[in-house]
A and B are shown apart, each in its own frame.
Chain A
Amino acid sequence: MPQLETTPELRTETMTVNMGPQHPSTHGVLRLVLELSGETVVNADTTVGYLHTGIEKTAEQKKWQQVIPLVERMDYLGAQSNSLAFCLAVEKLLGVEMPDRVTDIRVLIAELQRIASHLVWMATHALEIGAVSVMMYCFRERELLLNINEMLAGFRMFPSYLRIGGLREDLPADFHKTVKEFLDRFGPKLDEYEGLLTRNQIWLKRTKGVGVLSMQDTLDYGLVGPIARAAGVAYDVRRAFPYLGYDTYEFDVPVGSAGDVYDRYLVRVEEMRQSASISRQALERITPRGVYDIQDYRIVPPPKDKVYTEMEALIQHFLIYSQGFTVPAGEAYVPVEGPRGEHGFSIVSDGTNRPYRIKLRAPSFYACQGLPKLIVGGMIADVIAVIGSTDVVMGDVDR
């Protein structure tokens, strides 16, 4: 009987797969080089920088108040959380205190911004895992928030409504009614979306136990924000280092325990509820008309009717628009709790009318750095779920 040739030994070699930079689920232009063994990811290399626009360098050439539209374009889903952090830092250096009404309006705007950002996250995250209808619904609600932005400042994504020293102008007519209508509508709608996902068998199978990160790891990698809270670290800047009078609002900091994709989902959904509750409290405190800046006309432009009638106001108006204002020399870092975690600007002033240096503490930058930690050892199909759950915004990473 002739000797049968045995099949050669099973080949076990890894395969390198390039994912991105133009992959629809990478939330912008993130490139991952994955090394796969079968369907398991054994190594991952992250490349960022495709969206680097040098905003921090550009800001050094601009006057202080010209920086606001620039920084809003960094984290483009949480635009007003950027400008809020920047304004607070500059105001810290200027040593000015905002009137209560301005502070309350800022809280309202920051919380609505958080809801808008989380809605986009939920929409895209669900879409990537296969729940297409959730995407349609979330974008419908976000549209209403963009309409509110349009009401405020005429610009939907980057309103530049928050200014150093207050707000751009007073609230528009019918603002209270519109926001209240949105909040009344949003609560039941959110329950409906949760009904689509939270107990959904497919959703649970795709998210539970996937991309697990321990408490220690989240802190080691600087992933504070919803990712750390899902792992059990109850750190929220609004609680730990209260700003804008957040200590006078009633709200819970939702905390998970498993640190997986599912818990991150639960934490963010609950955060939206809390944000809606804070928005309601803030809305009650805000009067429809009132002061909207510090009325120090060395920092904010004087009202137009005064500019037309008073010499002093005309001079101040001219100075603000030609030379800006100077900020005392020094260094400030004021963190805020953005939709993605701790957001804060380190700003340095040399006492002139232009920033000496600004630097954003970008939560997505650190989330991107932690990605290999989350996806290595998992399945390739889970990579998409994990990237979605970290809620990275590439504009925030690359700045």
Chain B
Amino acid sequence: MDSTAIIDALLRENPGDPSWFEPVDSADGMPTVYVLAEHLVDTCRVLRDSPELRFVLLADITAVDYLPRTPRFEVIYLLVCPGTSGFGTTPRRLRLKVRLPAGATIPTVSTVWPAANWAERELYDMFGIVVEGHPDLRRILMPEDWEGHPGLRDYPVQIKMPVKTYEPLQLTEQEFVANIETARSQSHRE
């Protein structure tokens, strides 16, 4: 199934405008389709549920920063139809891509594939791409107080940063005892 056949199947399942999708050739021969960000979630749902397509597995989400090109980002979803155990008939792969201008947001697909949760957190952490509707959009690999997003092409890599250290929480003996007693009295009152 090549990328145009996948688009045809998509349009059969979920009538829409063919201009939402754009098939492209890829160097590794994997079917590749661009989709508009506003139709991403619907498309993903059809890709997962349609008996013809059955892309039940989200292998990975990644992004590429094409600075200074506009639109700046491409977000890439690697999908797999395993083709066994009742999940599709033949193993297939699809690369779904979304062009994203700098500062734009992308809707979450974690409602379609729960696996997208952490992958989208990494997307936010590395590229600063805000994922709309995400249940828990925090940094995942970098510390929470880190400045900047290291995946960006204009992120400085040759600079020296002072090593950040954290002081352990310091309590005096009186404060410690007071804390314990407050907690104890609270739990007894309940």
A in complex with B: yes
Nearest neighbor of B116 in chain A, beta-carbon distance: A222
Nearest neighbor of B78 in chain A, beta-carbon distance: A333
| A365: B residues at CB distance < 8 A | 118-119
| A333: B residues at CB distance < 8 A | 28, 30, 78, 95
Q: Tell whether A356 is near chain B: CB-to-CB under 8 Å.
A: yes
Let me know if A61 and B157 touch, CB within 8 A.
yes
Let me know if A344 and B59 touch, CB within 8 A.
yes
| A222: B residues at CB distance < 8 A | 57-59, 113, 115
Nearest neighbor of A240 in chain B, beta-carbon distance: B91
Which stretch, B7-15, B135-143, B161-169, B170-178, touches the partner chain A? B135-143
Let me know if A233 and B84 touch, CB within 8 A.
yes
Expressed in whole angstroms, the Cα–Cα distance for A328 and B26 within the complex equals 12
Nearest-CB distance from B161 to chain A (Å)? 12
Expressed in whole angstroms, the Cα–Cα distance for A220 and B57 within the complex equals 7
Nearest neighbor of B139 in chain A, beta-carbon distance: A49
Nearest-CB distance from A158 to chain B (Å)? 22
Nearest neighbor of B82 in chain A, beta-carbon distance: A235
Nearest-CB distance from B176 to chain A (Å)? 18
A327-346 CB contacts (< 8 Å) to partner B: 328, 330-335, 342, 344, 346
Let me know if B150 and A57 touch, CB within 8 A.
yes
Let me know if B82 and A332 touch, CB within 8 A.
no
Do most interface residues of chain A lie in helix, strand or loop, or is the interface mixed? mixed
- The answer to whether A235 and B84 touch (CB under 8 A), given A222-B113, A332-B28, is yes
B89-125 CB contacts (< 8 Å) to partner A: 91, 93, 95, 113-115, 117-119
Let me know if B59 and A342 touch, CB within 8 A.
yes
Expressed in whole angstroms, the Cα–Cα distance for A328 and B28 within the complex equals 12
Q: Tell whether B85 is near chain A: CB-to-CB under 8 Å.
A: yes
Interface set of A (CB-CB < 8 Å, partner B): 8, 11, 13, 48-49, 52, 54, 56-57, 61, 89, 92-93, 215, 219-222, 224, 232-235, 240-241, 328, 330-335, 342, 344, 346, 348, 356-357, 359, 361, 365-366, 368-369, 398-399
Additional A-B contacts beyond A224-B80, A330-B27 (15; CB < 8 A): A11-B187, A48-B141, A52-B141, A93-B28, A219-B56, A219-B57, A220-B114, A233-B84, A233-B87, A235-B57, A235-B82, A235-B87, A333-B28, A359-B60, A369-B117
